[in-house]
Amino acid sequence: MESGTTATAEVYRGRFAPSPTGRLHLGSLLTAVSSWLVARQRGGEWLVRIEDVDPPREVSGAADDILRQLEAAGLHWDGTVLRQSTRLGRYREIVQALVDTGTAYPCSCSRRQIAEHPDSGPHGLRYPGSCRTGPLRRGGPHAIRLRVPDGPVGFTDQLQGPQACDLAGDTGDFVLWRKEDLPAYHLAVVIDDAEQGITEIIRGTDLLEATHAHLVLQRCLQLPTPAYMHVPVLVDDHGAKLSKQTGAAELRRMELGQALARCLTWLGWQVPDGLRKAPAPELLAAALDEVSLDTLAGRRVLAAAVDATPTAATQNPLR
């Protein structure tokens, strides 16, 4: 089974890549803190990238708010913040090259057509390859899909252990370019991680399965494969991932020190009594050499038990 070629670099380089669909909440802060801590513990760089290529879901001003929140929490990044919206030409160039070589192809199928196809699988999630020999509909907008090779795809996650799937059988050819004339997440993230020289990707377990698609695309583009570490996602009392859609409280409604203390506790660090009300940057400095993400090995979720309506006394001045 192929596992990819691990990227090598003189400097460890991690990243945090939020989408500006709103301010940070506890779940996104946990991911940011995790990646920042590992980068700093390894004497490396920590980059921030704004993944702003989905205009219908973006909230005006959210990107700048996120950056201010990170700074206020003491999560200072290295270099210049990369915004994906400035790189559309680069994404388009690469996807066109894949089409020109036959590695990718245009697809006119709607979600309904895919779900109703007899070869789409029991849950309608597998693309049946209807447009592999040419789009079923010539006119109108088309998506671009990658031809997924047959055979198992696998890697070893730094926290979740060995992972493997039959990508061709499970999901089939996946979208690189959307019908809305925008790059898909898979394409943009793989290109940016490679061109920014990211050596390890730390993100939530909700993206664990997506890694298989990223490995396949990296191989097609002859790009190095970074190490992967998927940290548990926070879930509410009903087991749903904390997100804007499930009503997760944005950090503008919480005192950052308190929020950071929660995150560090989930990462296995016992906050000293004398630091429970300390500013966020002070907490980070104290925890830097104490926290080890190894305590999260094998865990996919963490119960958040978040109070969605903090009192006025815990309001964040970033509001």
Is 276 a residue whose pLDDT tops 90?
Answer: no
Amino acid at 235: V
Strand partners, 175: 145
- Residue 249's pLDDT band (boundaries 50, 70, 90)? low
Domain that residue 286 falls in: 13-84+190-307
Residue 196's SS3 state is coil
Cα distance between residue 183 and residue 236, in whole Å: 31
Extended strands (E) in the chain: 13-16, 45-50, 82-83, 104-107, 143-146, 153-157, 161-165, 175-177, 200-204, 227-231, 233-235, 301-303
Q: 61 vs 68, 138, 164, 257, 318, CA distance in Å? A: 11, 39, 39, 23, 13
φ/ψ region of 278 (left if φ > 0, alpha if ψ in -120 to 50, else beta) reads beta
Residue 63: its pLDDT value, please? 97
- Residue 257's pLDDT band (boundaries 50, 70, 90)? confident
Residue 190: its pLDDT value, please? 98
pLDDT per position as a tens digit, 106-150: 999 998 999 888 888 766 689 999 999 999 888 789 999 999 999
Hey, CA dihedral for 245, 261, 69, 211, is it positive or negative?
negative
- Check whether residue 228 and residue 284 sit in a common domain: yes
- Check whether residue 79 and residue 201 sit in a common domain: yes
- Residue 64's pLDDT band (boundaries 50, 70, 90)? very high
Residue 229: its pLDDT value, please? 98
Reported pTM: 0.88
Provide, rounded to the nearest whole percent, the portion of the chain with pLDDT above 70: 88
- Check whether residue 46 and residue 70 sit in a common domain: yes
Q: Which residues contact 12 (CB under 8 A, 6 or more apart)?
A: 39, 42, 43, 44, 45, 199, 200
The count of structural domains within the chain is: 2
Residue 233's SS3 state is strand
Tell me whether residue 108 is in a domain.
yes
Cα distance between residue 25 and residue 29, in whole Å: 6
Cα distance between residue 205 and residue 302, in whole Å: 11
Tell me whether residue 121 is in a domain.
yes
Report the CATH number at residue 30.
Answer: 3.40.50.620
Report the CATH number at residue 100.
Answer: 3.90.800.10
Q: Which of 186, 217, 233 is the last residue of a domain?
A: 186
Q: 275 vs 40, 136, 268, 271, 307, CA distance in Å? A: 21, 63, 16, 7, 22
178-187, 203-212, 298-307 — which is least confidently predicted? 298-307
Q: Which residue has tokens 């047959």?
A: 150
- Check whether residue 97 and residue 138 sit in a common domain: yes
Interval 307-315 mean pLDDT: 32
- Check whether residue 131 and residue 92 sit in a common domain: yes
